[in-house]
Structure 1
């Protein structure tokens, strides 16, 4: 296999159904041997994109290339890809060994014992070879589905919400397990999920999709620390926003005016115009903020961004306490404080100073919706 043979390259790929556009024309390159996640809410186009790579959907425009081969017109069974679905689709009447051997036997390969044994060892199920699928846990069945797909030596493995049917604890175990398997076999994985933690735990590169378009792609830490849109900032975790105005530029920092105070933003992290008077949404993650009781305001080190507020709610969740702070300049602020040395004065009604390192601030164009990407809890009918 040449180095580029496991690349997935989508060029101008799109999908429309009548007047509805599921995927707007997009270009994506998934490097050989990488773990790549398409992340987004239901209806964002991620599964449609995956199905176009698999050949299960015909693109309305554009091309799909696997390595140097244009496979756009090839049927699924002629593409060097295999897909693992959420349902696993194991054969209930066959034992685990025969489920994994199925693809080899179908291709007329007679001697399958070593290959199947190696693959079951890879997914740590060698002891379960003669059990039927119904005798295995959901996580074990999922690993059988992965083994069955990998034994055909596809250049690309496609995973469509493969962990969606598992409970939370098992899902977390399987995230690490899938990453281990991908690292060991070294082939390209393209994984579709709506679960932010899942994508960030497993993938080398995450593409955040919204409304049939890729909003932003990059390494998980890059997307989290430097979101370019409010949708990405909110979809990957929680963000606090302050509407501000550019006052001046001082060296590598943009000085912002918010109410009667000033806040610093690194110029390199400002995705908006930096000319004086320009409008900016200043963002900061809840875990980057330190809460200090107003009585101790004098202890806040110089050079930190600081604003004031009042605690309106707090929730103890074990590793941290989550505070909601009311303040005049913006919606309620969220602050996550690690439970190391808890200040018992930080209760609802307490006046506080919120402060953080300016380097942890990011700036976005103020024309965006600050609620974009916020997961809404649907009420029961």
Structure 2
């Protein structure tokens, strides 16, 4: 147990008010308000160019806001330089000193501040990141994950009120990245300070963060607990960016506790509480359903499907076996290319391309969105890097 772990949560809250950033004619971050509770693990999630890193840099003092204020623990720090703010940042590159061993890398900040007795604090930090046995190795003798933990220890030893993490796992392979997600969450829980983590990786954000803010084009699209964002997205961008969603345009034919819909010649039901858009008879609604919520049944067995489930007829266009599950693409009169993920427990050998099937799901697992939105928003083809590249170009031109 380190010196950090005294009370349950000794972090500092972060509050952004009307914060924005423009590089010439390019607006990287539109005015936004954001509150990060003290002692929480908070993630800014979005594609390249969405403004998440610029927002983090404004908290750190590395970028000057065009408008708005930054408060840490109720104190306005907007005009303070980075070295006077009670924050430390861990970058993707780690920026370890190659000529110093791990012990001296971690001790660097203390020695720079003139602290003479560093052994106890350095030993505590190395124990926290489980690298006590590696103290006298050089950074190049460690794995990427171990180097990342050294960078975290070096930042934490300065006892910041807030730790900022800018894509810290981006250079790691998938298996190591998943291990480090759990490690970072363990460290944050143990030290109890506020972590703000920037990432483009949806799984990373949902695994570690208490609260996730999904950013899109310089704005916060939706913010909340990971499960809430996944189960009840409010926009097509969030529905598509967090995992995969099937979005089906349907006509509203009845409203009440349940919204009654018609798509092609099929009727569907959606609980009114699952609609984020106002459902009006005669208008359209996007019905969303996650691929893993759908069950595929061969058409010959359609009579075995329980009453009360939404169902659509279709034909399998493609199937891909990926070990834990089989992923299908199904064409239906309601929509083409519907995704279905079926866990590989008792596979039906008849579910092959060309087979006629029925897709069915519990109405409570669907969600309703405004049909005026772009159905493809948030998909890989729709999330590019133009904004960030334009912002970087504008910043370089101004310097």
Shorter-chain TM-score range? over 0.9
Partners of 1:7 and 1:31 within 8 A in 2: yes
**1-structure distance, mates of 2:11, 2:128:** 23
1:86 is aligned to 2:56 = no
1:189 matched to 2:198: no
> Bigger relative contact order, structure 1 or 2, given CA contacts below 8 A and separation 6+?
2
- Structure 1's 302 and 181: CA in aligned 2 closer, same or farther, altered over 3 A? same
Aligned with residue 41 of structure 2, among 3, 13, 35: 35
* Count of matched residue positions in the alignment of Structure 1 and Structure 2: 377
Find the aligned partners of 1:290 and 1:5 in 2 and give their Cα distance: 44
The equivalent of 2:104 in structure 1 is 98
Aligned residue among 284, 287, 306 for 1:282: 287
* Alignment deviations for residues 39-58 of structure 1 (CA, whole Å, 9 cap, x no partner): 00100000000000000000
Task: Give the 5 Å matches for 1:1-381.
Answer: 6-250=12-256, 252-376=257-381
CA separation in 1, counterparts of 2:242 and 2:11?
A: 32
Give how far 1:4 is off: 8.3
Q: Which residue of 1 aligns with 2:394?
A: none
Q: Secondary structure at the match of 1:376?
A: helix
Give CA-to-partner distance per residue, 1:247-272, whole Å, 9 cap, x none. Answer: 1124x211111122110111111122
- Cα offset for 1:331? 2.8
Q: Deviations over 1:227-264 (max 9, x none)?
A: 000000000000001111111124x2111111221101
* 1:298-339 deviation line (CA, Å, top 9, x unaligned): 000000000100001100110100011011222310100000
Using the alignment, how far apart are the partners of 1:16 and 1:241 within structure 2? Answer: 34
Deviation at 1:275, TM superposition (A): 2.1
Which structure 2 residue ranges, 5 or more long, are not aligned? 1-5, 384-399
CA deviation string 1:28-67 (max 9, x = no partner): 0000010000000100000000000000000000000001
CA RMSD of aligned residues (A): 1.4
TM-score of the aligned structures, taking structure 2 as reference length:
0.93
**Alpha-carbon shift at residue 5 of structure 1 (Å):** 6.1
Check the 8 A contact 2:155/2:163 in 1, yes or no.
yes
Secondary structure at the aligned position of 1:182 is classed as helix
In 1, Cα distance between equivalents of 2:382 and 2:174: 19
Q: Indicate conservation of the 8 Å contact 1:5/1:68, yes or no.
A: no
Q: Deviations over 1:265-285 (max 9, x none)?
A: 111111222221121000000
Is contact 1:4-1:68 (8 Å) kept? Answer: no
SS in 2 for 1:344: coil
Q: 3-state SS of the aligned residue for 2:380?
A: coil
**Residue 124 and residue 4 in structure 1: after superposition, are their counterparts in 2 closer, same or farther (change >3 A)?**
closer
> Whole-Å Cα distance in 1 between the matches of residues 300 and 241 of structure 2?
35
